[in-house]
Amino acid sequence: MSIKQVAKLAGVSTATVSRYLNSPEQVKEKTRDKVQAAIDKIGYAPNALARNFRRGKTSLIVVVLPSIGDPFLESVMRGVWKVADELGYSILIRDTQSNSHEFDEYTDLVFSKQADGILLLASISPFSEPEAQRGSRGKTHPPLVLGLESVTRELIRFPSVRVDNVAAAAEGTDYLIQLGHQRIAFIAGKRDSLLTHDREQGYRNAMGAAGLEIAEDWVVEGEQTIDGARRATRQLLQLQQRPSAIFCANDEMALGALHEIKSAGLKVPQDISVIGFDDIRYAEITDPPLTTIAQPAEEIGERSMRRLCQIIDGNSDERGPETVPHKLIVRNSTAKISGR
């Protein structure tokens, strides 16, 4: 059951067994065979717990994300896993259930040595003052990299990998403006999501740059869910001055918007254009297929994970944010504004 029994059975010392396990080339072939035979005989499996304990390393990385089952995050995770496999790490996923508090709950996993680092793919809102607290307690920061999300002032010092959400959203909005739209609404996410906040900012920037007004009730909250977006859309449709286009802060909400618009008997894009963000796999099979802004999801996962591992291994080269390119994908949910 333990290394001792293997040693006894093989007639060698525990040190030799350990060596055989970790650097076999240091063990004479004849001894190797004896040890392996003993291992097979008693069905020995090394206790990884003891090993990690001894080594002071878990090779476990915690990925914090708002919601498993998010098709976009799935793509990001694919990149994360790729690197993890390559570098010998395991991934522990924590789903925040779309709540964005309790930063400490996750960092504690590192401080208590249960994990080596944290990949944060979720919104950590205002980030309270754990920062200051840590400082005063003499604690150091855990290895941490941010993916996707925009960065608050408190987090700016951490490495991050993401698209330029402001610019991307501005580009999407511009596209609508080029199509002749002027009454453009925006369905935002949760209030405390920095990410959708940035996208909203991009939208506002583009509108401002084009000299277009944004009516007070053109920006509504969609709660990052289909149902939330449906409610938001319903509000927009009831407006006196109905918008001719809707920018949804992500595709999930765009799906809800599309459905609600069609349920109201209106046509997309003839009556209303819709644009999303993320390019999830469902975007191309909606009816009509959704115009959206794609992020290089897998690349984001891969690069952020790689940076995290570098930090853990003490090879943290550079700091600060890293930006990856986005891309506007034009499908059929957007069209020139109909003459009226």
Partner DNA sequence: TTGTACGCGTTATCAA
Partner DNA sequence: TTGATAACGCGTACAA
Where on the chain is the footprint of DNA (CB under 7 A)?
Answer: 1-4, 11-16, 18-19, 21-22, 26-28, 30-31, 46-47, 50-51, 53-56
Find the helix packing angle between 14-22 and 3-10, rounded to 10°.
110
Which does residue 30 bind out of a second copy, DNA, none, counting CB within 5 to 8 angstroms by kind?
Answer: DNA
Query: Is residue 71 close enough to count as binding a second copy by CB under 8 A?
Result: yes
Q: Taking contact as CB under 8 A, which single stretch among the options 7-15, 38-46, 118-126, 331-339 is the one that binds a second copy?
A: 38-46
In the bound state with DNA, the residue whose beta carbon lies nearer, of 35 and 83, is 35
Q: From the list 285, 317, 339, 340, which residue makes contact with a second copy (rule: CB under 8 A)?
A: 285
* Nearest residue to 94 (alpha-carbon basis) of 72, 79, 71, 73: 73
Q: Which amino acid is at 136?
A: S
Query: Is residue 149 close enough to count as binding a second copy by CB under 8 A?
Result: no
Which does residue 37 bind out of DNA, a second copy, none, counting CB within 5 to 8 angstroms by kind?
Answer: none
Maximum Cα interatomic distance, the chain, rounded to a whole number of Å: 92
Torsion angle defined by CA atoms of residues 121, 122, 126 and 129, in that order, rounded to the nearest 10 degrees: -70
Query: Is residue 329 close enough to count as binding a second copy by CB under 8 A?
Result: no
Q: Taking contact as CB under 8 A, which single stretch among the options 157-165, 215-223, 252-260, 303-311 is the one that binds a second copy?
A: 252-260
In the bound state with a second copy, the residue whose beta carbon lies nearer, of 191 and 267, is 267
CB–CB of 149/195 below 8 Å?
yes
Which H or E run includes 335? none
Query: Is residue 69 close enough to count as binding a second copy by CB under 8 A?
Result: yes
User: Could you tell me which residues are beta bridge partners of residue 323?
Assistant: 162
Which H or E run includes 61? strand 60-65
Size, binding site for a second copy by CB under 8 A: 48
Which does residue 138 bind out of a second copy, DNA, none, counting CB within 5 to 8 angstroms by kind?
Answer: a second copy
Nearest approach in angstroms of CB 41 to DNA is 15
In the bound state with DNA, the residue whose beta carbon lies nearer, of 25 and 318, is 25
Distance CA 281, CA 330 (A): 15
Query: Is residue 226 close enough to count as binding a second copy by CB under 8 A?
Result: yes
Query: Is residue 111 close enough to count as binding a second copy by CB under 8 A?
Result: yes
Distance (Å) of CA 258 to CA 58, 68, 238, 320: 46, 23, 15, 37
Distance CA 323, CA 325 (A): 7
User: Could you tell me which residues are beta bridge partners of residue 160?
Assistant: 146, 321
Return the residue matching tokens 């109909």.
338
CB–CB of 128/319 below 8 Å?
no
Nearest approach in angstroms of CB 134 to a second copy is 8
Query: Is residue 281 close enough to count as binding a second copy by CB under 8 A?
Result: yes
* Nearest residue to 169 (alpha-carbon basis) of 249, 225, 279: 249
Count how many residues are written for the chain: 340
In the bound state with DNA, the residue whose beta carbon lies nearer, of 60 and 294, is 60
In the bound state with DNA, the residue whose beta carbon lies nearer, of 55 and 340, is 55
Binding site for a second copy (CB under 8 A): 40, 42-43, 45-50, 52-53, 56, 58, 67-71, 73-75, 77-78, 81, 90-93, 95, 97, 108, 111-114, 137-139, 226, 255-256, 258-259, 262, 281-282, 285, 287
